[in-house]
Amino acid sequence: MKLYTSDEIRTKFIRFFQTKGHAVISSASVIPDNDPTVLFTTAGMHPLIPYLLGEKHPSGTRLTNIQKCIRTVDIDEVGDDTHCTFFEMMGNWSLGDYFNQESIAWSWEFVTAPEWLAIPKHKIAVTVFEGDADSPRDQESYDIWRELGQDEQEIFFLPKTENWWGPAGQTGPCGPDTEIFIISDKERCGPSCSPACGCGRYIEFWNNVFMQYNKRADGRFEPLDQRNIDTGMGLERILIALNGGTVYDSDLFTSIFAQIAALSEATYADQPKAYRIVADHTRTAVFILGDTYGVTPSNVDQGYVLRRLIRRALRFAMELGIQEGHLANVANAVIEKYELIYPELHRNRDKIIREFQAEEARFQKTLSQGLREFEKLTISLENKQLDGRAAFKLYDTYGFPIELTMELAKERSIVIDLEGFHEHFQQHRELSQAGAAQKFKGGLADHSTHTANLHTATHLLHAALRSVLGEEVAQKGSNITAERLRFDFSFHRKMTVEEIAATERLVNEAIAEGVEIISEEMTLEEAQNTGAIGLFESKYGQKVKVYSMGKFSKEICGGPHAANTADLGAFKIVKEESSSSSVRRIKGVLEREIGS
């Protein structure tokens, strides 16, 4: 049996869609820009939402790429056979160009043709939307699959819960999808066995979304003027489908596991869960630290998740007997595995290693504090019983693993209310998942005039900060709600009252001048040569959009924007604070906007 490598799959996927006229675009940052509802980029379509909503993309109407993604809702499930917090999503998009006929036909060709993935046709199953009151049964996609030669016994009509995507918020583009599965060697679990039953017979690896409706505020679905295709194939998932085994059995983890083994007192066979958690969490932390936006561990937002990932990796590294300070060696193995594909990891190697070492030192101090707290909690316990709330506080506040609490309690003949601990843990987890489930609401999918104005204001704010504080200032993230903008930027100290006032004044001077906002398409090299600032994530030669606001600002961006600075009304900084180490955060609002 042929075993595919990750490099081989990446290359085949991109090359295939290039033959179909798709422009290759770069992976965006793992930190979403101007979206307050998700901490990380969770899918390939996420950075493309403005273009799926109708904005013109500088690279055309057919796009393909491999997007770095992070999902942490199931962080506590990592260690099993399937869950990862970081993954690579391979995707292709049609922005009002082709639709389901071409999308399905090309998927079938890529999956089954001998020169591409060469999966036997009898090993393929697909699902299509069964229809409901909002949208009819997707008979057209079913017929396309049948005409291509897909076995009708392995085509399943499933409801909206299984075969529908979107909208991104409460309203917006959405539509039915068709999902592609490989049939494993497991027997059917019963006569009604299907990809929806979750028995493990069917492994999904590709999803083609047919964005053809707009959901209105009143709940009705109306046809979109621009119908789009949005597909996603997880690299880790397709490697399982092709090679078998678990998500950790591919070449993506081979060298990382080898480094863990070299540092560990236990083998992978002895401690597979600990190996997997150390590898997965370290890999994700490396991509967050090495990202263009440069997030570092902190107690808020992405920094909080990053801290939790590193500390959870450290806890399991301790279980493996890995000596203090050596997790950075595992991080270096991740960098070496991915730096040719994602050169930002190579550029930021020193910072990544430094932050791993610093966070480990802080964690060791935290563990010492946790030990003292444990002693305080248990020194005068009645009946030698530790309640679940106290055990959870040790876990949540001090990062104290429940296994360590149990071990210490056993030494002192103390009984822990584990049922109470798990109740508190589950409540905490459900709150976290509920927050993460608010995908895109009010974020990138919100193209209201007000949010476009707020987005425009971030450009003027960025330029003003560089004028007041110096050109060392660089954007480190932003998001926008219906009420305010938030802008993170690199700077080593708190701003003075005078600096805040000067920054605010410069933004309002640009607004008062009422200059037209001009959008131009050019290559990355041309943008740099004209003095544009921004995140230079694109590949050389790739076209980007540059927005100019008179003499005030010139920046690479994807929009949306106001037409004139005068539309913004008046800008006010309401708060300046620390975001993380050497990163400051400004929150601002617009008052007296034109048309408001």
List, as residue ranges, the binding site.
Answer: 455, 459, 557, 561
Contact 275, 320 (CB under 8 A): yes
Which candidate, 367, 236, 351, places its Cα nearest to that of 285? 351
The Cβ of residue 364 has, within 10 Å, a number of other Cβ atoms equal to 13
H or E element: which one contains 351? helix 349-378
> 489: number of CA atoms within 13 Å, CB side?
26
The span from the CA of 400 to the CA of 311, in Å, is 10
Contact 289, 348 (CB under 8 A): yes
The span from the CA of 474 to the CA of 405, in Å, is 43
Q: Give the Å distances, CA to CA, from 470 to 292, 349, 353, 465, 499.
A: 19, 25, 27, 7, 11
3-state secondary structure 519-577: EEEEEHHHHHHCCCECCCCCCCCCEEEEEEECCCEEEECCCCCCCEHHHHCEEEEEEEE
> What residue ranges in 41-120 does DSSP mark as E strands?
62-70, 86-95
The span from the CA of 476 to the CA of 293, in Å, is 4
Contact 359, 310 (CB under 8 A): yes
Q: What angle do CA 250, 256, 258 make, to 5 degrees?
A: 95
Tokens of 430: 């459900």
The binding site for Zn(2+) comprises 455, 459, 557, 561
The span from the CA of 322 to the CA of 178, in Å, is 45
H or E element: which one contains 181? strand 172-183
H or E element: which one contains 155? strand 155-158
The span from the CA of 298 to the CA of 281, in Å, is 16
Secondary structure (DSSP) of 6-51: HHHHHHHHHHHHHHTTPEE-PPPPSS-SS-TT-SS--STTGGGHHH
